[in-house]
Structure 1
Amino acid sequence: MLNSDIPTMRIHMQENDQKRDAGLTEPDTLEMFKNLSYGPYGIENTFDIYYPKGTDKCLPTIINIHGGGFFYGDKELYRFYTMYLATQGFAVVNFNYRLAPDHHYPAPLEDTNALINWLIEHGRSYYIDLDRLFLVGDSAGGQLVEQYATLTSNSAYAQKFSFEIAAVQFKAIALNCGAYFIGKNSAINQDFPFYFGETITSALKSQFPVESYITANFPPAFIATSTHDFLKEIASPFADLLQSKGVETVFRLYANPDYTELGHVFHLNQKSELAKQCNNDEMAFFNRFI
């Protein structure tokens, strides 16, 4: 995909997301803190925190890394999904990060790290429990969850990066329709040149494929995909790889009862009972590690 295609892609993707969310309303059962700032990059470094009203002690906390091919998406398009997670008894962090092509790799990882450092310093004021911390992500966000979880669980891998990784560990993660195995069979910038740039340095090349750096210390993982997810074929092999490393892993392939189309990032559709089932399955998985 060329940089010139990105504005058109963003318009089409936003139209589909707005259609998906049309008519939804924010729940009145949550405390919401919106448009907080965790870094110097304006709106791209803003975030929201949600948790149930009446909360008086720190809650297990979910950080969501949104998808969008590294060039699209923001917290507003994920608010109904992440607010639902918060209604299930979690504090939830829903954040923006810098997007390609204006910002290249590893900007989203740097931003995720900056957000977590902010939470380390200020999170208790918002009932964030960093000892019960979980990550979720989908599509490109799933890849970012995979990579950041590898950074926090393998110190040798973390040393390959120019920024110091926040001192946290994740109890578990959930990856939905993720973009795994970047750089395994081709140049890392083949599919995402707008993200990685045209020139691949030896230092950058050494950071991929991420899967080669996953160890048994990687957090327990729930891997979800669907019958018509265009990334479906890499989900099961990724789950198998985690299991081969000794990582506790659950793999789920979701399907409509009549096998009609169930597409990429289906779990975001808050009007869908199957999306609710997937999200509840993941919350039940997280609850095992609280």
Structure 2
Amino acid sequence: MARHVPTGGLAETLDIAYGDEGARTRLDVFSPEPADGALPTVVWIHGGAWISGDKVDVRPYVRRLAHEGFTTIAVSYPLAPERTYPASVTSLNAALGHVLEHADELRVDPSRIVVAGDSAGANLTSQLATAVTNRGYAEETGLQPALTPAQLRGVVLNCGIYDVSSVPEAPGLGGWGFRIALWAYLGRRVGRGSPGGQLLAAHEMSTLEQVTADFPATWISGGNGDPLTTRQSKALAARLERLGVDCTAVFYADDVEPALPHEYQFHLDLPAARDAYGSTLSFLRRVLR
């Protein structure tokens, strides 16, 4: 991604601590220069199947977005197997609380925030947004949302998982990998005969049936070569549209070549990825105006 990012012109503050778990509870902040005052803000949650990844992975992408006139924040969070559900989502909620508490110094407009994520980060983003907009879900999960519905103007969901129950049937090598990662995050396999605690955790991670008509404006996409797209991203987009949620869905015909893989949006040499970036930018400008 780096060669697609303009050089210079940004203020950067890296590795800000928002928690006490070392590098796993740090965030990076980027904003355009010269400028003063708060800006609409995009908080990005990286992917990595709940077991890997780091905020460093998405720095080029969020830097590019910062050049468009936003404050952008990339967040790291605790990973499995050292930390299991709900450590990641709880930590990310704390990160959002830290951002609000330090909004002035970080150049964050607390009334104009979008939370974005890719892959497992999209799953975590959907959990946070569901807790913000569905009081019953927040009570069930024990999550006290840092953001209010008025502050959370939208979400960006790339190549995510929103129905954990379908992961055991996901096809191919990619499906196998997600099964292993999910078992690591939940502490053991989920399937018939799983202990109640693991089944409850899988239910709480599955936002597909827990989103409501109050879910924030959503931009959602998945590649035609991604084994998760049909049963995850397309299924959530369809549900949001049925609920009347403002939903911008970007999908591709099965015969598009080259087939667009999981996390295609970061392959900015591909025309489809550049088009997705443009669509994302239009969405952000609209919901954050």
Tell whether the structures are fold-level matches, with TM greater than 0.5: yes
1:172 counterpart SS class? strand
1:259 counterpart SS class? coil
1:153 equivalent among 113, 133, 142: 133
Q: Is 1:260 matched with 2:258? A: yes
1:212 counterpart SS class? coil
2:24 counterpart SS class? helix
Match of 1:236 in 2: 234
Match of 2:191 in 1: none
Name the CA distance, whole Å, in 2 between partners of 1:206 and 1:183. 8
How far the C-alpha of 1:106 sits from its partner, in A, is: 0.8
Match of 2:146 in 1: 166
How far the C-alpha of 1:186 sits from its partner, in A, is: 6.8
1:1-290 mapped onto 2 (5 Å cutoff): 27-169=7-149, 170-183=152-165, 192-198=182-188, 199-201=195-197, 204=201, 207=204, 209-234=206-231, 235-254=233-252, 259-289=257-287, 290=289
Closer, same or farther: CA 69–205 of 1 in aligned 2, 3 Å: closer
Match of 1:7 in 2: none
How far the C-alpha of 1:27 sits from its partner, in A, is: 2.6
The answer to whether the Cα contact below 8 Å between 2:130 and 2:210 also exists between their aligned partners in 1 is yes
What are the ranges of 5 or more consecutive residues in structure 1 without an aligned counterpart? 1-19
Closer, same or farther: CA 120–258 of 1 in aligned 2, 3 Å: closer
CA RMSD of superposed structures (Å)? 2.5
Closer, same or farther: CA 33–249 of 1 in aligned 2, 3 Å: same
The answer to whether the Cα contact below 8 Å between 1:130 and 1:168 also exists between their aligned partners in 2 is no
1:118 counterpart SS class? helix
How far the C-alpha of 1:176 sits from its partner, in A, is: 0.8
How far the C-alpha of 1:26 sits from its partner, in A, is: 7.1
How far the C-alpha of 1:173 sits from its partner, in A, is: 1.0
Q: Report Cα offsets for 1:32-86 as digits up to 9, x if no partner.
A: 0001110010000011000111121211100101111101100111111111111
How far the C-alpha of 1:162 sits from its partner, in A, is: 3.3
2:240 counterpart SS class? helix
**Equivalent position amino acid for 1:253 in 2:** F
Name the CA distance, whole Å, in 2 between partners of 1:184 and 1:255. 22
Name the CA distance, whole Å, in 1 between partners of 2:167 and 2:257. 31
Q: Report Cα offsets for 1:160-207 as digits up to 9, x if no partner.
A: 2334221333111111111121136879x9661100113542753652
Name the CA distance, whole Å, in 2 between partners of 1:143 and 1:98. 15
Name the CA distance, whole Å, in 1 between partners of 2:12 and 2:44. 15
2:96 counterpart SS class? helix
How far the C-alpha of 1:24 sits from its partner, in A, is: 7.2
2:145 counterpart SS class? coil
The answer to whether the Cα contact below 8 Å between 1:181 and 1:209 also exists between their aligned partners in 2 is yes
How far the C-alpha of 1:208 sits from its partner, in A, is: 5.2
What are the ranges of 5 or more consecutive residues in structure 2 without an aligned counterpart? 170-177, 189-194
Aligned residues between the structures? 269
2:212 counterpart SS class? coil
Closer, same or farther: CA 258–228 of 1 in aligned 2, 3 Å: closer
How far the C-alpha of 1:211 sits from its partner, in A, is: 2.2
How far the C-alpha of 1:265 sits from its partner, in A, is: 0.6
The answer to whether the Cα contact below 8 Å between 1:75 and 1:96 also exists between their aligned partners in 2 is yes
The answer to whether the Cα contact below 8 Å between 1:243 and 1:249 also exists between their aligned partners in 2 is yes
TM-score by length of 1: 0.85
Match of 2:172 in 1: none
Match of 2:174 in 1: none
Name the CA distance, whole Å, in 1 between partners of 2:202 and 2:140. 10
Q: Which moved more, 1:33-42 or 1:202-211?
A: 202-211
How far the C-alpha of 1:275 sits from its partner, in A, is: 1.9
The answer to whether the Cα contact below 8 Å between 2:162 and 2:205 also exists between their aligned partners in 1 is no
Name the CA distance, whole Å, in 2 between partners of 1:27 and 1:50. 13
TM-score by length of 2: 0.85
